[in-house]
Amino acid sequence: MTYPAPVTNERIRVGVLGAKGRMGSEVCHAVEGAHDTELVAALDDGDALSALVDAGAQVAVDFTHPGAVLGNVEFCVRNGIAAVVGTSGFDESRFETVRGWLAEAPGAAVLVAPNFGVGAVLSMQFARQAARFFDSVEIIELHHAGKVDAPSGTAARTASLVAQARAEAGAGPVPDATTTALDGARGADVDGIHVHSVRMPGLVAHQEVVLGTDGEVLTIRHDSMNRTSFMPGVLLAVREVRSRPGLTIGLEPLLGL
Amino acid sequence: MTYPAPVTNERIRVGVLGAKGRMGSEVCHAVEGAHDTELVAALDDGDALSALVDAGAQVAVDFTHPGAVLGNVEFCVRNGIAAVVGTSGFDESRFETVRGWLAEAPGAAVLVAPNFGVGAVLSMQFARQAARFFDSVEIIELHHAGKVDAPSGTAARTASLVAQARAEAGAGPVPDATTTALDGARGADVDGIHVHSVRMPGLVAHQEVVLGTDGEVLTIRHDSMNRTSFMPGVLLAVREVRSRPGLTIGLEPLLGL
Amino acid sequence: MTYPAPVTNERIRVGVLGAKGRMGSEVCHAVEGAHDTELVAALDDGDALSALVDAGAQVAVDFTHPGAVLGNVEFCVRNGIAAVVGTSGFDESRFETVRGWLAEAPGAAVLVAPNFGVGAVLSMQFARQAARFFDSVEIIELHHAGKVDAPSGTAARTASLVAQARAEAGAGPVPDATTTALDGARGADVDGIHVHSVRMPGLVAHQEVVLGTDGEVLTIRHDSMNRTSFMPGVLLAVREVRSRPGLTIGLEPLLGL
Amino acid sequence: MTYPAPVTNERIRVGVLGAKGRMGSEVCHAVEGAHDTELVAALDDGDALSALVDAGAQVAVDFTHPGAVLGNVEFCVRNGIAAVVGTSGFDESRFETVRGWLAEAPGAAVLVAPNFGVGAVLSMQFARQAARFFDSVEIIELHHAGKVDAPSGTAARTASLVAQARAEAGAGPVPDATTTALDGARGADVDGIHVHSVRMPGLVAHQEVVLGTDGEVLTIRHDSMNRTSFMPGVLLAVREVRSRPGLTIGLEPLLGL
């Protein structure tokens, strides 16, 4: 991530919930390493949330679990701590609950994102924006051989976004002249978009969105090499969440797309 | 290009200037082939511009030459014909001249674009939008072996846009630990961005913008197979120019980016 | 194709059968354009084969149809003209027939190839050679939207070659941890190899063989832009066929692999 | 690496020299992990080589340093232990020294390889084999931003191999119509081959050899994600070295290319 040097020496005071977990420990490391953030609390199962207040945390980052996250968010909202949430399990009813708490706490801010990979989010948005200018689009996602689901969640979501953009532009089905095919050759159908899943030792997490019109092809490829690739997105959220009162869903609004 | 069927049967009446040229003849073909446009005049050197009026042209497409284009545009503005211009040679002083004519003709519309490749323009814009979220960016452009300049104009322009976006975000120079290098290994420097030019029989026109941060890489690749790839952009301009009074520069505003 | 200048001025005298067809006319053009070949006869339906003899043809190239090709080959073998055959429809029984004629004509030479694309043949051979050194391999082939079969014949043949190489090396099934998948996500199964078919306007004919082992991936990609890409292979066969008496199947032996 | 199960239960007894080093410790790990090898000695600076004999090592793997490696190899040759050497610093005079020892020890075997990456070696060999069938070739290598030299050693060596293959086939210089270029745009010149070096956070070690002829392009891409990618090559050498008496240079002969 490329940022200007901070204009003051004041660092953002950050607490991490789920600090011993796989993602949480990476967040602690990233918060300690950045020039403009400071780790003031690292809590995990059994630790009292009041430690956040005692430590003067301005932002809390939550990578815990679906059973714990709502209580954590409520605590933050009621105590004037902005919350950045990467824990899964949110649906519309949970968002409504959070909005209810926020309505009673003007200025409080919560950001919930299903994916903190800046590159992945940009890929999805670019694919969505480009979709209506091309006759067709297909998605190829490539992951390590240990992945159990196909296609990946990101690929399925990208396909849905692309399909929706095409529908809004009045586009019909993608062209496909196939009359003779082996089962599966043309991939999975996600909202009318063909999605292909490659599984291979040596790969990590990769996705290509291929868009074509007669005479030209646009390819948006994202390669994620390891989970540190999520940290720039987490730090971006930490830096920006307090300037966005209320509930923000997804990293997209912070990317200025 | 993917568009809904037109809601009426009225086609846009299009005249082409430079109709016998390499690009102009492709435009004639594309206008004839589209469901919502109609070719009503195909003029070339020596033909009277009044034929545009006689034919009832609503939009004129100009792929002529720098010595002819200004006169053509003036004629169109004064005669209520929207102009779509792909002829090269425009600079700020020429734009000022056109703006002067337009000021006297409310509702008149002129669109001048240096590049009608929708995919190329999208690539440039996506690269510009993504630039500030990555530590570094380099550009690889690959063209047929007959190309005389390196880097390509599109690559140079992409590099400038990216460099500007990085500067606006307060980013410093791209990281580069190279201490020992053969001459040229690290490419050309365009506003601080490394640009690499590959020339090869079998290739047509291709560009990759590679953006990286620790742990992830985003690649935006555009492949242009032939000059028909410019026609969707020309048709897009033909369809939209009349709804944008005044001077429009570049295809970008029509792409909703 | 990169070749040294010929050491003598004698050009190979070439006759083309099926000279008015799609491929045959390209062959005529290529034979006329090369520095070391000369087009001495261009025959099509209804022309007498004796014209080959009258013209002094040394090599005949046959792109006719399955109903005509055997008669053409027999004529060539009996008249001391080497034959290069791209016509489809050959099976083992036809090969046996040709071998019978060749047994009676010492020095006569026939080369039959299902694919004259040098790059495609190299791709297949490299994939086959590499297969036993990697834990897994998958194939992605990408073609224009008008293609009616999936996967492509080249992809299916590549998969078979790769599967055979793995079997000979004692490799088991490719690793795949998928437990939850949408239909088709993991592609078609060709001899145990996953093959994915992308169809898209703007594409021509492309194939990627991806081979992976923990920590590294090898990708062999072939892009064919148009049917002139078969001509270097046809010319290679024309130049080499006379030095290979008997029946040669495929371009592989000429590539020194 | 894909191998059949061993036909007997006897494992190859392996000693590692430089066992505490970056590569050596990976080798220890790999030897312990493979089904057909057994780690019987792990030596580093200051340990007596006699421990190899005491442990009954059949093969010794040396990743030490140029000042130590020759003594280690001599010890192995004189004690009937086959040596697999990845230590750098070998030149023709050192090879002559090793050949001298081997001449006095019939059956003794030493394999010295500058690169144990099977994929990298295959890439180089495929590029070399394909070179004479294409009009042109260029190399793009992409590495992490901390790399100090450009181009990479592998890219330079690949370029030399390709240039040599072209020269042997009588090919002239690669075609290049460039008349106007920014400094460095066309890359570095290695034996007449253009080589382009990209440096980027997020990348690890990647190389593309692009070969083109009118109408088609062949790309051989190798992605190395981490140094475990060298282990299959080391294990391959361990398994095969004893069946190749004398001095073997490079992994190539073991790959059957």
Tell me which residue in A135, A180, A194 faces C201 most closely, judged by beta carbons.
Answer: A135
Note the pLDDT of residue A114. 87
Residues 6+ apart with CB under 8 A from B205: B142, B143, B144, B152, B223, B224
- Partners of B157 on chain D (C-beta within 8 Å) are none
* Pair C208, A234: CB distance under 8 Å: no
SS3 content of chain D, % helix, strand, coil (to 5): 35, 25, 35
Tens digits of residue pLDDT in C149-169: 999 999 999 999 999 999 999
- Partners of A172 on chain C (C-beta within 8 Å) are none
SS (H, E, C) C73-130: HHHHHHCCCEEEECCCCCCHHHHHHHHHHHHCCCCCEEEECCCCCHHHHHHHHHHHHH
- Phi and psi (nearest 5°) for A145? -70, -5
**What is the DSSP secondary-structure string of C163-202?**
HHHHHHTT--SPP----EE-TTTT-EEETTEEEEEEE-TT
Show the DSSP H helices in chain B as ranges: 22-33, 50-54, 66-78, 92-103, 118-131, 153-168, 231-240
Residues 6+ apart with CB under 8 A from D2: C132, C133, C134, C135, C166, C169, C170, C171, C172
* Pair D173, D192: CB distance under 8 Å: yes
Note the pLDDT of residue D8. 57
Note the pLDDT of residue B137. 98
Segment 95-134 of chain D within 8 Å of chain C by CB: 117-120, 122-123, 126, 129-130, 132-134
Q: Is D160 on the interface with B (CB under 8 A)?
A: no
From the CA of D29, how many Å to the nearest CA of chain B? Answer: 25
Note the pLDDT of residue C6. 45
Amino acid letter at C182? L
- Phi and psi (nearest 5°) for C61? -110, 125
Nearest Cα residue in chain D from C117: D216
* Pair D210, D142: CB distance under 8 Å: no
- Percent of chain D with pLDDT strictly greater than 90: 88
- Return the minimum-mean-pLDDT range out of B44-53, B113-122, C35-44, C124-133: B113-122
Task: Check the CA dihedral D90-D225-C184-C179 and report its sign.
Answer: positive
- pLDDT of C218 above 50: yes
Catalytic site residue from B29, B65, B147, B206: B147
**CATH assignment of A118-225?**
3.30.360.10
What count of residues does chain B have? 257
Put simply, whether the predicted model's pTM sits higher than 0.80 gets the answer yes
Nearest Cα residue in chain B from C223: B202
D197·B180 Cβ contact <8 A: no
Rounded average pLDDT over D38-55: 97
- Return the minimum-mean-pLDDT range out of A72-76, A233-237, D12-16, D225-229: D225-229
Residues 6+ apart with CB under 8 A from D25: D19
Catalytic site residue from D29, D143, D194, D222: D143
Nearest Cα residue in chain C from B202: C225
DSSP A215: T
CA distance B40 to D227: 66
R_g over Cα of chain B: 20
Tens digits of residue pLDDT in A74-87: 999 999 999 999 99
CA distance A30 to C9: 72
Note the pLDDT of residue A66. 93
CA distances (Å), C114 to each of C89, C117, C229, D239, D244, in order? Answer: 9, 9, 14, 39, 39
- Partners of A140 on chain C (C-beta within 8 Å) are 140, 196, 198
Note the pLDDT of residue B6. 45
**Residue contacts between C and D (CB atoms, under 8 Å):** 156
What residues of chain B score a pLDDT lower than 50? 1-7
Any chains having at least 3 CB pairs less than 8 A from chain D are A, B, C
Top CATH class, A12-112+228-254:
alpha beta
- pLDDT of C216 above 60: yes
What residues of chain A score a pLDDT lower than 50? 1-7
What residues pair up with D216 in beta bridges, in sequence order?
A: C224, D213
Tens digits of residue pLDDT in C140-149: 999 999 999 9
Note the pLDDT of residue D227. 65
B229·C204 Cβ contact <8 A: no
User: What residue spans define the domains of chain C?
Assistant: 12-112+228-254, 118-225
Note the pLDDT of residue D6. 45
CA distance D94 to D78: 17
Considering chain C, what is the average pLDDT of its residues?
A: 93
- pLDDT of D1 above 60: no
H or E stretch covering B91? none
B206 is catalytic: no
Strand, coil or helix: D157: helix
Tens digits of residue pLDDT in C78-119: 999 999 999 988 999 999 999 999 999 999 999 999 889 999
- pLDDT of D206 above 70: yes
User: Of B225, B10, B253, which is closest to residue B125 (Cα–Cα)?
Assistant: B253
Which two tokens mark C139?
């194939």
Segment 182-221 of chain A within 8 Å of chain C by CB: 182-190, 194-203, 210, 212-217
- pLDDT of D4 above 50: no
From the CA of A232, how many Å to the nearest CA of chain D? Answer: 12
**Among C208, C223, C227, which would you mutate to test the B interface (most chain B Cβ atoms within 10 Å of its Cβ)?**
C223
**D115 is known to lie in a ligand binding site:** yes
Specify the long-range contacts of residues A75-78, CB closer than 8 Å, at least 24 apart.
A75/A49, A76/A52, A76/A108, A76/A110, A77/A101, A77/A102, A77/A105, A77/A108, A77/A110, A78/A105
CA atoms within 13 A on the CB side of C231: 25
B204·C225 Cβ contact <8 A: yes
CA distance A43 to B213: 28
From the CA of A184, how many Å to the nearest CA of chain B? Answer: 26
CA distance B220 to B161: 14
Considering chain B, what is the average pLDDT of its residues?
A: 93
SS3 content of chain C, % helix, strand, coil (to 5): 35, 25, 35
Catalytic positions of A are: 143, 147
CA distance D256 to D251: 10
* Pair D238, D14: CB distance under 8 Å: yes
